[in-house]
Copies of this chain bind each other. A is one copy, B any other.
Amino acid sequence: MDNVPAVPETFVHELRVRYAECDPQNIVFNANYLVYFDVAFTELWRAAVGPWQDMVARGIDAVVAEANVRFRAPARFDDVLALHAHVARLGTTSMLTEIDVMRDGELLVAGRLQHVCVKTATWGKTPIPGWVRDGLRRFAAPDAESAT
């Protein structure tokens, strides 16, 4: 029974909605969720691998290839949001991160970000380095590396 897969750990980052992020409908303007996702992804990275800039200094960066956002309920000014993030797929050069935006246990917005690993010298696609992959496994689903 020693090969039972570990329960994947979900990374949680909290932030408070700023007034400037809300629109005349009195809700967070949709584009700002992509900003929130970027913040959560950066913090997941810090916990898993280290500060983003340390990776860039080693010649590796990542760019967003696709983003998907489903809006279920609006967040409002001054709300404290919990962004729950985990790595759903960890491929050779790309990875898929799922981020749920929760408020008091209610799912408001569900996001998916596909990142591709690139070399800063050429901006060309490159395999995710081992030291990055090792760190990310902490927040990866058990089948993240076999999924297609």
Contact = CB atoms under 8 A, between A and B. Distances in A.
Copies in the complex: 4
B18 A38 contact: yes
A66 B68 contact: yes
Contacts of A20: 23, 29, 31, 35, 38
A48 to B, nearest CB: 15
A26 interface: yes
Interface in A53-71: 53, 61, 63-71
A39 interface: yes
Nearest to A65: B71
Given A22-B23, A64-B71, A67-B68, 14 more contacts: A22-B24, A23-B23, A25-B63, A29-B38, A30-B64, A31-B33, A31-B35, A53-B77, A53-B78, A63-B71, A63-B74, A66-B69, A66-B71, A68-B69
